[in-house]
Structure 1
């Protein structure tokens, strides 16, 4: 992404030590005459008025919900209610009653713009599977998985993708009266899901399989695309998916996987700049690069005008955790946990091809984005073990799951 840079002007250096004093008064006279001429010219010819450029509306970022356990996908209901999937704490409990993955509906019943009043929090499910990749796969990263994304069908059905690990992977169909029905797909973790234009199929980003699925509402699964390796031989890791409302194309965020550092021979979590967004033709399965040069792009959204919004989880990797690190120790040292905390961002790529605009930066591990009916953006932040000590911008702090709302100021 191009950046602005200031160019220093050359400085003039003069010294009177080498000046012939016999000509000093001539120089002073010449300077005085020149100054007088300049002043008279300015007085006679006033400078033309220059209109200030109209400032572009700036984004307003506010915390809408806080204290959540790894908020992920968000769907917006017909009355403005928010359906929020929470991946949970990451504690892999044996007793299902101790599982902490959730699906919650938030209603702004009194219209005050928040959801913290009595009767505004409607918990649909509280004990869905959750786990942490550090404990499951010794990834050395604090990565919580569980309920991942949620869709609301126009007929009232809800579709919820869940990555509970191994045999607990699902794409659940939930009836309007909150009954979990069929599991439409359980073949690979589906971090992001999106309807096609007719709401007859669901596209799913299958990260571990490096594939894009198309799943019918009857449960028929088609492997639409298998993504090849990225620039440095790492897996593509599709993480986010969105459908272009103008033509039905599918945008897929390719997060990028581990890569081998040629200088050391060791594997690193990712290569900055290798992540990208691709555009998939759902008829042919062909795809092309849409946005390149990204880092850990984890989700993507597109509005009706064709503006694209990307979410980048972090700008760099940092503080890989020991394999036996206690994620739930409140006295643990404040470590990043694999990704540089408070380095995530949301960027707008205008449909007209003009310069990208960073709408929010310095975010703590953002993961999901949803566009609201008034073009407002909802962004989930705070990935990782809730309450774990981490380095913050102003000193040690803890992981807090939040939903941010980004609006464009008039």
Structure 2
């Protein structure tokens, strides 16, 4: 897939197509100051695109999007999943949820910070994660940026990178806290999530400022909401996926967001928690999916408003892409809103 606008989560649908969430490029609508201090403007530029057998097509467009001038590092459609065959999309926000009211003059802005369902050209609100954060604030710092969406048999699981928590969404839209990730000298900032082999929810963390090298974990959250560290020693994780009988973890920026390079890496994690590098030199990767046939797909150039793409990884690494610096730092800052700055 190519020509994507800020691509994020990937997922295979029950129809065999590979789906990609596009956060869009913002627009010329009303603006707010996001959690990282940037002025971001609203537009209906987000979409979901799918691919199969050489055909790339839009499934739904006109989804809400927030982005700074230029469109790099947008917030919007962050991930997607299918529950009972119905496409669901999680839409980010990246700020104090009270600020959503400042966008109320723009139709569609009320969907930011929510899980929505898609049927044909109809988008319906399912659950309001931003309002849940405003009312409950589990980690004590108001910020909501729903990021990853996982479908279980009868409910959805959402990681909120701004709220530092993992919640469940019932088929009736009811939201419940599953786990609040532990905080130390920096905020956890949960990003990608997947279902593990024993039905635990496995969650990667970007980490907050100062984005320490090797400071990111993969957490396992069991059915009772108990949290354990499944694997350690990563840097700025953006997504995780289970396939081929293994867990895969994708780093957005392998030398830290404060380092000079902007390339990420994909790791394979064994049952013993040890990691093995599978592929390096990925250009600002933001999404990961494993096909039923074991093939690995990655969303690359994931902070570009025009040049995002999805690639299939070959057994022997291809030449690394040229780095895409613009928007990368801002995107990661927006995910966690530089959470933990005051603790650094």
* TM-score normalised to structure 1 length: 0.62
Instruction: Report the counterpart of residue 4 of structure 1 in structure 2.
Output: none
Query: What SS class does the counterpart of residue 99 from structure 1 fall into?
Result: strand
- Quote how far apart the aligned CAs of 1:364 are: 1.2
1:350 to 246, 254, 270: 270
**Who wins on radius of gyration, i.e. which is larger?**
1
- Quote how far apart the aligned CAs of 1:84 are: 1.4
1:247 aligns with 2:188: no
2:181 to 221, 227, 232: 227
Instruction: Report the counterpart of residue 163 of structure 1 in structure 2.
Output: 92
- Quote how far apart the aligned CAs of 1:71 are: 1.1
Structure 1 portions without partners, runs of 5+: 1-64, 109-113, 136-140, 260-269, 319-337, 388-399
Query: What SS class does the counterpart of residue 130 from structure 1 fall into?
Result: strand
Return the structure number with greater relative CO, CA threshold 8 A, min gap 6. 2
1:213-292 matches, cutoff 5 A: 213-230=167-184, 233-244=185-196, 246-259=197-210, 270-283=211-224, 285-292=225-232
1:73-112 matches, cutoff 5 A: 73-91=9-27, 93-94=29-30, 99-108=44-53
- Quote how far apart the aligned CAs of 1:212 are: 0.6
| Contact 1:129–1:163 (Cα < 8 Å) also in 2 | no
RMSD over aligned Cα atoms? 2.6
Greater share of residues in strand: 2
The alignment of Structure 1 onto Structure 2 pairs a total of residues equal to 278
* TM-score normalised to structure 2 length: 0.73
1:131 to 61, 66, 75: 66
Query: What SS class does the counterpart of residue 68 from structure 1 fall into?
Result: coil
Instruction: Report the counterpart of residue 39 of structure 1 in structure 2.
Output: none
- Quote how far apart the aligned CAs of 1:79 are: 3.8
1:387-398 matches, cutoff 5 A: none
1:14-33 matches, cutoff 5 A: none
| Contact 2:66–2:74 (Cα < 8 Å) also in 1 | yes
Instruction: Report the counterpart of residue 209 of structure 1 in structure 2.
Output: 163
Structure 2 portions without partners, runs of 5+: 32-40, 101-111, 131-143, 317-344
